[in-house]
Structure 1
Amino acid sequence: MNNRYSRQELFPPIGKEGQQKISTKHVLIIGAGALGTGSAEALVRAGIGKLTIVDRDYVEWSNLQRQQLYCEEDAINRIPKAIAAGNRLKAINSSVDIKTLIADASGLELEEWAKQVDLIIDATDNFETRMMINDVSQKYQVPWIYGACVGSYGIAYTIIPEKTPCLACLLKTIPIGGLTCDTGGIISPAVNMVVAYQISEALKLLVGDMDSLRNKLVSFDLWKNQYSAIGADKLKDEHCPSCGKERSYPYLSFENQTKTAVLCGRDSVQIRPPSPIERDLEALEKAFLKQNGTVQRNPYLLSYSIDHHRLVIFKDGRVLVHGTKDITEAKALYHRYLG
């Protein structure tokens, strides 16, 4: 007799009935980095019916410290993360239907994927994609779980269309700048804690135990021994363009997305935010000086060179990524170093 899920079924809030429900559900994970690999492994071990993983990047040596599905051979061969993750997950549980996509999650693709899933888990590295996930969630009535971490800090929040405030209610506008794992570092316990929050909420949703959902935005700093859980219900905005009465899903429109263009005759891609912003070049310089690359700054722009790429960042938010004509690669570098 196969007792693979017996310990999970012995847990009363799940039981055999809940396990059966889990086995029929389809979850979409956007991103196969630290949060994505942790969440994917937990769901596959829990017996999810179908799992789709989307990621545009490949495995690098710096990933191995915290991205638990990858090994040294993946980094040596620069295997796409989606493929490496899928191979490992199939070895863990061959009964799960695992679909892997090497892709950049744009609005059009997110809309198509969202029509087929029961839950979306955020494991991205940027707020632009999160806001598109948020709009897709509201448009197609699919719950999603926001999560992020950097350094020893982490945050998680569960969003249920028509019931909770959405991410746009909480943030109002897309945050620009801030530390990333590549500029501020990260420790694996912070990743594991966010994954624990995200997957515990995911299991509640998958078995239909809505009364047990946290209904609070949780944040913590493990190094500073800080923790907070904030009730967000009062932040729901009836005029919110993403979830309000006259919603327009603004982050799915082309006008509100980051613009990219390959520069004619040059091995470079220009990336421009949806609207002009003012970058703090001095703060960016301090962050980049902690890295292995070369940093140069004048009153108008900052240049950061690493490996065979060079990012030139202007005060108005524009970035030139030199050393590639691949827009997907350029966007990956942009989000890696600029959040």
Structure 2
Amino acid sequence: MKDRAALVSNARQSILKGSKSFAAASHLFDRETRERVWLLYAWCRRCDDIVDAQDHGGALGDQSGAAERLQAVREKTMLAFAGKPAGDPAFDALGLVARETGLALDMAEAVIEGFALDAADWQPHSEGDLMRYCWHVAGAVGVMMAVVMGVSPNDEDTLDRACDLGLAFQLANIARDIEEDDAAERCYIPMDWLVDEDIPPGEQMKPRYRPALTRIVARMCHSAHIYECSARIGAARLKGRQRWAILAAAGIYGEIAREVARRGDHAWDHRTVVSNARKVGFIGKAAWAAMRPVPRSCIAAASQRPFSRADLIALSRREPGGIVAT
């Protein structure tokens, strides 16, 4: 197994390549938290890449054998929590950060269930299905990140808020990447939403449906805003530099959703990104926000969140009815 410095170095390279937005915000953490966040991110990124046969995101590879790749992820993750070498630095990184912070196997398994949904080639039928997916691939990651930052596993409300930040991030990503997902023959828009807008399955990117798609995405971006506001309540309970980093990340990712909504019918003419200059601006705004109370408007918006973490966990424990194979 590699030593800690080597694992941290590998994890840093992973986040720099895989998520420029989160990488920028992560540098605001104190060194210990920053390194632990990188270690956890490296595992998340590597799991996603293995299951989707890709390299730090990007184009999907050959999707045959997805079930076998998913099983490899499960086995390597179990080795990591058992304190054994996994033969992959990203999984060894997970084992290291788990030993340092008290992350538990069931937390990681909640994340892996999201990869399992992708491996099964599915599409959500309802809003609940969509949010269940977002819980697994991002909300559960938010919970793990909170524990890495020192939040007690028993502090349920703060963990709920951490989950909500992950949900906001994922909804922003889905809204931005609809065209890319369509090219990869994936769709994360609930079938119910498509039916409501009279969009036939698989035709959401056709020009004649662009106004209807824009309405759907506006709805998604509004939900992202609600969950972002909820997350800001939890961020207020973190230590100073942690609060600054989380508010910066929330602002940067929130801007992705806001920009997609602002572009309307032109949201997918080219990929929505937040420039380095604008990231610096959000980092500055976050520094000010970290010293201020949570705005009342945010508290009011947070009260409107349609699903809580408990709701999504309950949905996940049901039979997988409502998931539509594509």
TM-score, normalisation: structure 1: 0.28
Bigger RCO (CA 8 Å, 6+ sep):
2
State the TM-score, normalized to the length of structure 2.
Answer: 0.29
Larger relative helix fraction:
2
Structure with bigger strand share is: 1
